[in-house]
Chains A and B, each alone.
Chain A
Amino acid sequence: MERMQQVVGRARAAFNTGRCRSLEFRMQQLKALERMVQEKEQEILAAIKADLHKVVMSGPTAYIQEIVTVMVDLALTKSELPVWMAPRPMPKGLVEIRDKTYVCPEPLGVVLIIGTWNYPFLVVIQPLIGAIAAGNAAVVKPSEVSENTARLVADILPQYLDPELYPVVTGGVPETTALLTQRFDHILYTGNSRVGKIVMAAAARHLTPVTLELGGKSPCYIDKDCDLDVACRRITWGKYLNCGQTCIAPDYVLCDPSIQGKVVENIKATLLEFYGEDVKSSPDYERIINKHHFKRILGLLEGQKIAHGGETDEASCFIAPTILTDVSPESKVMEEEIFGPVLPILPVRSVDEAIEFINRREKPLALYVFSNNKKFIKRVVSETSSGGVVQNDVVMQFLLPTLPFGGVGNSGMGAYHGKHSFETFSHLRVYLIKDLKMEILNKFRYPPRTQKKVKLVLFVLLKLYDKGQARVILLALLGILAAVVAMLHFGSCLSA
């Protein structure tokens, strides 16, 4: 507790000096972060591999997932930051014609970033980019479950960034609990809904705003009318990426019973294409993070019809890519986010049934719909809710930094990536700047109130419900004004 108080206290004192506010300082720290990622790339990849058995070289591996995503966000942030930081003038009315009205982003103060273990480097560094860009100090708490990455981040971050402003705190539940008793100006937490509630309740004690990047069961609905071959390949990629340990992995599939068999066949074929006959020896297939999750996922397979896969090896936390068919909505595998390489397929007989099925459950982080029929997709999307939607693909919404990434309901609140990180960690302060002159204009608002004053206030302040006419009238008036000015100008030219 005392240690946390000291760390946070130091960060706050450092923030209060004002040194992290200037554009120059923020750019310098962002460039240092970039150098860190470039120079320590091998160490970072090695740590992630040790934690998750991720391969360094080809394919959608740790390199693309974690290093490239961070570099892209850094490049975007560095390039756009001066624009993001600038004051934003706001529209005025007649009354404010002489005044300045604008909103200006300013730092919140000391923010807390709590990471998780599945993309252990990415989920602490990507928010940190936004926190630095917005001019804050930030306490970084990587997940203890991905202990190699946590240790590495604690080691290298202070070598590149200002160690007082951006301290790294390592530890497990007791350390995180102690950290959460401190006051922060924003908390960004990535993890599960259960702990999300704990974080939000702790934040409530200090009225600290939070961004919660949680999870849930992201449904994947496949229409009869679609290119099943392509759809299944994309779903296979997204599902078994990182051994299913991705918050936006398609958690389960909904489809008509008549295509269930074909879906299974297509996925099986794709798995062979991706990982070969012996998945266990494929360099592209990861492992479950630890024994606890291994046992948890194993438990979800009980009593299920395994159409493919199901092989496991506890010693190496290996679970083969698995497909379950004819899954019952009440079974255990449908109760919690799977977060593993197990894909349940649930038959639904109609769009209505599918929509009702999805809406009966908590709002997911992502909704995936595959169909050639635009009307079909439009219906599913407009009658459900989710953090994000991808039509005819999976997972890709994560890779476009101009899209805000976040959930809704049980899958989270708030969003970040790119500019949205900057906005998350900023306070948009409102400014109205007047001068002390022209006091006579204020007379109409001061008491004593006469009918004349009331009428004047109404005239000046009341916005009309403009069904288009006001704009036309204004245009006409401007036109007349322009004509008058032109006439005077030419008149004076002629007489000169």
Chain B
Amino acid sequence: NPYEGLVSHLRRSWLSGRTRPLEYRVAQLEALGRFLDEKKDEILEATALDMGKPSFEAYFSEILLCKNELHDTLNNLAHWVKDEHVEKNLVTRLDSAFIRRDPYGVVLIIAPWNYPIHLFLVPLIGAIAAGNCAIVKPSEISNHTEKLVAETLSCYLDNDCYAVVTAGVEGTTRLLENKFDYIFFTGSPTVGKIVMQAAAEHLTPLTLELGGKNPCYVSDACDVQNVARRVAWGRFFNAGQTCIAPDYLLCSLEMQEKLMPALREAITEFFGPNPKDSPDFARIVGDKQFQRVQALLSSGRVAIGGQMDEEERYIAPTVLADVLPSDPAMQEEIFGPVLPIVVVTSMDDAIDFINARPRPLAIYAFSCDTKEVNEVLDRTSSGGFCGNDTLTHVTLTSLPFGGIG
């Protein structure tokens, strides 16, 4: 067991009680803040090398949103750690009854490659704030960021309590043989099952942040240009490599026709006539992923975009029209800058379509009529729901982020 030594070391640190005092936790969190400030340029550079992440997007998701979480935690931690007194009954009237939030111990955080800093750092903020020790396992696919984190995080955090492990599939499998007190995993449902199986061996509680196909319903009653802009922004951010990106669109045939020019205009507005030249458009992270997304393009017909450059792993912002439920693009989470449109006959049809499929991480519904938005909301189930916009519900630190099913 190659990681036994490391895990034991962290467990000894945990048992020493070092990570429990509030002052210690605050000091470590402040150090994380310094990491974000001092390594900002390196982070932007590494993510640009990994997937051509535009510097604004990288700044927004990897620095700004992380700092928001950090500040929210630092501002409220003293309050969060307080004992929560509960209502008592007659028998316990003279007693003190409360819930205390105790740290678990040694936590494992496994992060994916699409927002490689954010998706380990935000869970790590929580782990530290709650008084745990932690091992961070960044994704080997975003290898520049992985290297940066492995080399620099140790300069900021207490190395006896927080460690970074770099490993591929085999190494991660060996890592999961160890007993952890909590596992936080972000990634695909397939690997999620493997992680949960491994956790079951040690009865380790876990949080799984997975994915799915997030439907986006567009009603006939809506401001087409605004919808097109918001959907395009959500779909093409990070070249579509976002777990909560609108995965496919559901609308009437009429609306499909109206949306095409609107989407074309939005794409040109955002990325110019040739998105390949735009500094604001990312690339696919690796060859394997590029080939996977490429294969999905044989669905429906390419109405916008479709251009590719394998060397640069560039896929143009693409919209597919008249896609059928049996097409390749509808069989898996797309995770690329491709937006299939599936034509439905009515809102009821759209709701049935959504409910016939596994529950997604997010559902989007666009309509000028609040009743319609509410109906989609009421009759479906998902991790989260956003009416008349995409992605933004995850930027609020007050809203819990997670999936279902």
Contacts and interface: CB of A to CB of B under 8 A. Distances in A.
Contacts of A91: 396, 398
Given A207-B193, A396-B92, A433-B388, A448 B398 contact: no
B20 A204 contact: no
B71 A434 contact: no
Given A90-B396, A432-B385, A446-B269, A461 B68 contact: yes
B295 interface: no
Interface in B188-229: 189, 192-193, 196-197, 199-201, 203, 205, 208, 210, 222-223, 225-227, 229
A83 to B, nearest CB: 13
A430 B384 contact: yes
A439 interface: yes
Nearest to A356: B15
B331 interface: no
A430 B383 contact: yes
B166 interface: no
Contacts of B229: 439, 442, 446
Contacts of B278: 447-448
Contacts, number: 198
Contacts of A214: 203
A463 B384 contact: no
A429 B381 CA distance: 8
A196 B393 CA distance: 36
B203 A436 contact: no
Contacts of A96: 392, 396
Interface residues of B, number: 83
A457 B91 CA distance: 55
Contacts of B400: 103, 428, 430
Nearest to B373: A433
B47 interface: no
Contacts of A212: 203
Contacts of A399: 89, 91-92
A433 B208 CA distance: 25
A431 B272 contact: no
Contacts of B87: 402
A203 B68 contact: no
Contacts of A453: 56
B385 A382 contact: no
Contacts of B71: 463-466
Contacts of A462: 64, 67-68
Contacts of A205: 193, 197
Given A432-B389, A434-B387, A436-B366, A201 B396 contact: no
Interface of A: 72, 90-93, 95-96, 101, 103, 106, 108-109, 185, 193, 196-197, 200-201, 203-205, 207, 212, 214, 359, 382-383, 385, 396, 399-404, 408-410, 412-414, 427-436, 439, 442, 445-449, 453-454, 457-458, 461-466
Given A214-B203, A433-B387, 6 more contacts: A103-B399, A103-B400, A109-B405, A201-B201, A400-B88, A400-B97
22 contacts: A197-B203, A207-B208, A400-B86, A400-B89, A402-B86, A402-B97, A408-B104, A409-B203, A414-B205, A427-B404, A431-B387, A432-B393, A432-B396, A433-B373, A434-B387, A434-B389, A435-B368, A445-B233, A448-B272, A449-B55, A462-B68, A463-B71
